[in-house]
Each structure stands twice: as structure tokens, then as C-alpha cells.
Amino acid sequence: MPEREVGYEEFLAPGRGPEQARVVHQALQHLARGGAGAVLQEMAREVLSGRVGLREAVRVGAYADALGEHAHLARRAWEDMSAEERERRRAEARRALDAEGYGGAGTGER
């Protein structure tokens, strides 16, 4: 029997509306599939199952360390890209968000 998964509504918070909550939910689903290693996979599964809250999870040392390392690597990869590659990636992200119904994401538009 598949494990219960919380919905995106679990991630609504002051300053984080439904669109951002859906993005957080989708990011956790990606991590739960192993998108960034075993530690973040475990964290995402714990959060998505409802056993651990997102705020609580990021306070766990091993999870915080893994998140920091993943963010550092992502930033380094972004900085190593050419300006043309960064713009191509931005355009891909905009198209993906538009396809998901998040039009204007990151621009304050809807």
C-alpha cells in the first residue's frame, strides 16, 4: 500500500501562497525520488508523509547540511554557466511554470 502524502496545502504559510506552496510540494516530490541524494530523499519523504514538518526538517543537522551543500553546488553550477545558458535555463523554467499554470512566476504576475 502506498504511503500517504500530504498535499500542497500543507506548505501554505504567511507570505507563501498556493502557487509557491505547489512549487515547494513539487520540489519535495523531486527530492523524494532521489533527485539530490539519499539524505534529502529521506528528508523529503519524511516531510511529504507528514511525519515531520518542513520547518522541523530544516532544523535537523544532517538535513540542513545536505540542503546547504546542494544549494552551494547548484549556485556554483549556475555561476559556471555562460550568460546564454543561464538565459536558456530561465526561459525553460518560465515555460515549465506556465505549463503548470503558474504564469508570471517569479515576476509577481499571475
Taking only the tens place, the pLDDT of each residue in 11-25 is 988 888 888 898 899
What cell does 82 get?
555562460
Domains contained in the chain, number: 1
Does residue 110 belong to any structural domain of this protein? no
Name the pLDDT band for 73 (thresholds 50, 70, 90): very high
- Computed over every residue of the chain, the mean pLDDT equals 87
Q: What is the pTM of this model?
A: 0.73
Give domain status of residue 3, yes or no.
no
Rounded to whole angstroms, what are the CA distances from 10 to 15, 60, 103? 14, 19, 22
User: Which domain range does residue 12 map to?
Assistant: 8-99
Distance CA 108, CA 36 (A): 28
